[in-house]
Structures are given as C-alpha cells and as structure tokens.
Amino acid sequence: MTQTARIIVNIGADGSISAETKGMEGAHCLDSISVLEDLLEAQTVSSAFTSEYYTTATSQEGGLSHDVEQR
C-alpha cells in the first residue's frame, strides 16, 4: 500500500523552522527541500536522513542505496 507523502513543518515563535518528510518514495524526499525553501522563503542550514530513510532505503533495490551513498 502506498503511504501518503507528507511534510511536517514546525514554525517556532522565534521564527525558527524545522521540517520532516514522511512517506516519500525513493530519494523524492530530497526534492522537497528546494520546494520548502521556495515556499517558506528560507534557507536550509542543516539536513539529515532520519531512521525511516535508512530503514526504507535498505529494503529497496541496490540502485537506490547506491544513490543515497553518493549524496
């Protein structure tokens, strides 16, 4: 079953922003970084794959894992 792609965005009272993608296939979640930057008029200062990324990536074909390692 395909999981709905979601982005969870938290905007702090101090103007800080954090976001996390959920349920995106492959490295598609990386595309959302530039989309969010445009939407929010903000710059990414740090990013990290979550445990969900690695869990899903290791269960995929080798091609995707190779792609992740290259990034």
The answer to whether the beta carbons of residues 48 and 41 sit under 8 Å apart is no
Binding mask 12-31 for other proteins (x = CB under 8 A): xxxxxxxxxxxxxxxxxxx-
Least distance (Å) between residue 68 CB and other proteins: 9
Number of other CB atoms surrounding residue 9 within 10 Å? 11
34 is a contact residue toward other proteins (CB under 8 A) = no
58 is a contact residue toward other proteins (CB under 8 A) = no
Least distance (Å) between residue 51 CB and other proteins: 8
41 is a contact residue toward other proteins (CB under 8 A) = yes
The answer to whether the beta carbons of residues 50 and 19 sit under 8 Å apart is no
The answer to whether the beta carbons of residues 9 and 17 sit under 8 Å apart is yes
Residue 27 CA, chain-centre distance (Å), reads: 8
Instruction: Give residues in contact with other proteins (CB under 8 A).
Output: 4-30, 32-33, 35-53, 56-57
